[in-house]
């Protein structure tokens, strides 16, 4: 068989159902797909137009980032350590500054950050989400894009709940795209009322799209729904939104009955430990959710909440915080953590048959990571190295659908300096507004 690209040498961590590792191995790509993977030597029947040496590397599936707001990068690092940051700082800032051009430029910038750290697919929720979709499609990145729905006038909507129509439009216009899928993204149970949640649940069914929502994240949210309904999740169950379509982000204020309910309704969970820890929030019972049978993936959250959009820092913190939460060393092995960041994330986004592992027939979404470095050597256990030792700068090559987006540490889809310059321009334009809002927060 003649293939387009042969990746040869290095340890190939397939993350398939049999946990196969080929060290040293080879992987063949034809078009957008993986056509063969196995141990060296390469079978004599296989020839390639191009061969890539991956010796002294780990070859792994690309990370799937299950929750982001990538266009918020111009505001990264502003108003840190303040209480009420979302309502007093972020909402007014977004209303004043977020425009289509900013969303496109910032998205392209953040896609560069994600690609450089091994991410090959992300799920996003924001305003002007069609610009996020365009940035992803233009760069060759895989994405699930969700237009935000809120009960107030938003940067792209002059009236409450207009996001619903925009989300459906988005889903219609990207139907059938090889890299981009759309969903509807009600912001949270405290910004979308019960009637609209029920409407969104039935629209999602009708249009066959996922739903993405922040769930049980805030203490005030828990305080609002718990007295009458027992919990946020039990309140949501009344609306019909708890289903396999729902990608519930955060899931922090859960009791045992909620964990059971989430598993029973087959809700998907986007777990964002770095973002939650930075906000001083409870640790999501992610291990318990996974143990109960819920699909769990990892996310960075947006650049304001998680700061770095590098899933490597998340995959490393995830097992540590679960061990801390449960006071057990033997849970969430490194292998399980890496699975959660790849195949687990793919399951959360409903893409488990397309991406998430390195096997023949799946899309060629691959990261090649150099391990001949001071933070990695020696390698006694591939998974421990991948989860606890790697850093973003170890990522050498990234392919999405068989196409290089990062080649020998250089982005192929945009000029790096131009991406930075455009981002800084938007950050500069936002500076006055950021300063005024920060001052008002300190004054209180």
Shorter beta-carbon distance to Zn ion: residue 301 or 310: 301
Residue 302 Cβ, how far from Zn ion at the closest point, in Å? Answer: 6
Residue 299 Cβ, how far from Zn ion at the closest point, in Å? Answer: 8
Residue 249 Cβ, how far from Zn ion at the closest point, in Å? Answer: 6
Contact track, Zn ion, 37-76, x by CB under 5 A: ----------------------------------------
Q: Are 121 and 70 in contact (CB under 8 A)?
A: no
Residue located via tokens 């390469």: 42
Residue 67 Cβ, how far from Zn ion at the closest point, in Å? Answer: 6
Residue 307 Cβ, how far from Zn ion at the closest point, in Å? Answer: 13
Beta-ladder partners of 142 = 121
Question: Residue 258: which of 293, 232, 284, 281 has the closest Cα?
Answer: 232
Contact track, Zn ion, 299-328, x by CB under 5 A: --x---------------------------
What strands lie across the sheet with 25-30, from one edge to the other?
Answer: 33-39, 25-30, 2-8, 47-53
Q: Rounded to a whole number, what is the distance in angstroms from the first to the last CA of the chain?
A: 69
Q: How is residue 202 written in tokens?
A: 């039935």
Residue 25 Cβ, how far from Zn ion at the closest point, in Å? Answer: 37
- Total residues at interface with Zn ion (CB under 5 A): 1
Question: Residue 57: which of 394, 406, 411, 433 has the closest Cα?
Answer: 394
Shorter beta-carbon distance to Zn ion: residue 124 or 363: 124
Shorter beta-carbon distance to Zn ion: residue 314 or 395: 314
Of all residues in the shown chain, the one whose CB is closest to Zn ion is 301
Shorter beta-carbon distance to Zn ion: residue 28 or 72: 72
- DSSP, res 56: T
- Rounded Cα distance, 20 and 28, in Å: 16
Shorter beta-carbon distance to Zn ion: residue 221 or 301: 301
Residue ranges in 248-287 that form contacts with Zn ion under rule CB under 5 A: none
Shorter beta-carbon distance to Zn ion: residue 129 or 301: 301
Residue 308 Cβ, how far from Zn ion at the closest point, in Å? Answer: 15
Shorter beta-carbon distance to Zn ion: residue 70 or 334: 70
Q: Are 102 and 155 in contact (CB under 8 A)?
A: no
Residue ranges in 284-303 that form contacts with Zn ion under rule CB under 5 A: 301
Q: What is the DSSP code string of 179-245?
A: SEEEEEEE--TTTS-HHHHHHHHHHHHHHT--EEEEES--HHHHHHHHHHHSSHHHHHHTTT--STT
Rule CB under 5 A: which residues touch Zn ion?
Answer: 301
């Amino acid at each position: 068989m003649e293939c387009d690209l042969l990746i040869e040498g290095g340890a190939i961590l397939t993350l398939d159902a049999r946990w196969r590792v080929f060290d040293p191995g080879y992987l063949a790509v034809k078009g957008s797909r993986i056509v063969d993977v196995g141990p060296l030597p390469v079978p004599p029947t296989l020839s390639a137009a191009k061969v890539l040496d991956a010796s002294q590397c780990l070859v792994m599936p690309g990370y799937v980032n299950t929750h982001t707001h990538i266009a918020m990068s111009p505001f990264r690092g502003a108003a840190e350590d303040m209480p009420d940051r979302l309502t007093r700082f972020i909402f007014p800032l977004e209303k004043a500054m977020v425009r289509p051009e900013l969303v496109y430029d910032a998205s392209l910038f953040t896609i560069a950050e994600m690609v450089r750290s091994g991410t090959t697919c992300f799920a996003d929720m924001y305003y002007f989400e069609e610009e996020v979709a365009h940035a992803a499609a233009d760069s060759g990145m895989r994405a699930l894009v969700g237009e935000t729905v809120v009960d107030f006038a938003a940067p792209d909507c002059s009236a409450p709940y207009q996001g619903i129509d925009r989300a459906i439009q988005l889903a219609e216009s990207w139907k059938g795209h090889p890299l981009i899928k759309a969903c509807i993204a009600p912001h949270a149970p405290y910004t979308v009322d019960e009637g609209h949640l029920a409407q969104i649940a039935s629209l999602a069914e009708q249009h066959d799209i996922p739903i993405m929502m922040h769930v049980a994240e805030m203490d005030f949210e828990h305080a609002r729904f718990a007295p009458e309904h027992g919990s946020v999740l039990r309140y949501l169950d009344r609306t019909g939104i708890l289903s396999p379509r729902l990608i519930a982000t955060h899931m922090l204020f859960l009791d045992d009955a909620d964990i059971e309910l989430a598993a029973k309704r087959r809700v998907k969970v986007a777990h964002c430990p770095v973002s939650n820890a930075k906000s001083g929030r409870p640790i999501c019972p992610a291990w318990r959710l996974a143990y109960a049978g819920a699909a769990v993936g990892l996310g960075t959250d947006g650049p304001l909440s998680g700061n770095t959009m590098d899933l490597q820092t998340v995959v490393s913190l995830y097992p540590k915080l679960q061990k801390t939460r449960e006071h057990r060393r033997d849970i969430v092995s490194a292998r399980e953590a890496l699975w959660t960041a790849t195949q687990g994330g793919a399951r959360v986004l409903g893409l488990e048959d397309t991406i998430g592992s390195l096997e023949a027939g799946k899309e060629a979404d691959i990261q090649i990571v150099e391990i001949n470095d001071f933070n990695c050597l020696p390698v006694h256990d591939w998974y421990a190295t991948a989860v606890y030792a790697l850093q973003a700068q170890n990522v050498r090559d990234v392919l999405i659908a068989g196409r290089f987006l990062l080649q020998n540490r250089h982005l192929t889809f945009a000029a790096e300096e131009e991406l930075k310059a455009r981002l800084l321009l938007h950050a500069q334009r936002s500076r006055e507004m950021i300063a005024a809002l920060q001052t008002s927060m300190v004054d209180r």
